[in-house]
């Protein structure tokens, strides 16, 4: 079963850009992942599905400021022109079938 590794925290200034990383475990570098955002006190929200090729498919209503990319076993979420409402926890998710799912530990993003 794949394992996803995320940094526990990140910070960036208002209006700047930040790139969050989710790393797939050895032997699982081709896996597709999804990114989710969880604002304080709210349910998670689907942001996008991201393939190993770097191709991504965003959910409806997700701002253009959010984009995805990939390199080897790393999957990235880039947020441009950071806004205060982007301060949240970000989780990556992958799956071994529709029935075996794993989440990364989450990255807490602070907007300075």
Contact positions vs another protein (CB under 8 A): 32, 34, 36, 38, 43-46, 49, 59, 89, 91, 93, 95, 98-106
Q: Which is nearer to another protein, 17 or 77 (CB)?
A: 77
Q: Which is nearer to another protein, 16 or 110 (CB)?
A: 110
Q: Is 45 left (phi over 0), alpha (psi -120 to 50) or beta?
A: beta
CB 31 within 8 A of CB 24: yes
Q: How far is the CB of 86 from another protein (least distance, A)?
A: 18
Q: How far is the CB of 11 from another protein (least distance, A)?
A: 19
Q: How far is the CB of 42 from another protein (least distance, A)?
A: 8
Both structure tokens of 27: 């032997």
Q: Which is nearer to another protein, 13 or 39 (CB)?
A: 39
Alpha helices, H only, the chain: none
Contacts of 21 (CB under 8 A, 6+ apart): 6, 7, 74, 75, 76
């Amino acid at each position: 079963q794949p394992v996803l590794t995320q940094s526990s925290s990140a910070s960036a200034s208002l209006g700047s850009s930040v790139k969050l990383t989710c790393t797939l475990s050895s032997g699982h570098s081709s896996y597709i992942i999804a990114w989710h955002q969880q604002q304080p006190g709210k349910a998670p929200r689907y942001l996008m599905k991201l393939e190993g090729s770097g191709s991504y498919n965003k959910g409806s209503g997700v701002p253009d400021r959010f984009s995805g990319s990939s390199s080897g076993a790393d999957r990235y979420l880039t947020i441009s022109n950071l806004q205060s409402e982007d301060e949240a926890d970000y989780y990556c998710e992958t799956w071994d079938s529709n029935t075996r799912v794993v989440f990364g530990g989450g990255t807490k993003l602070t907007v300075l």
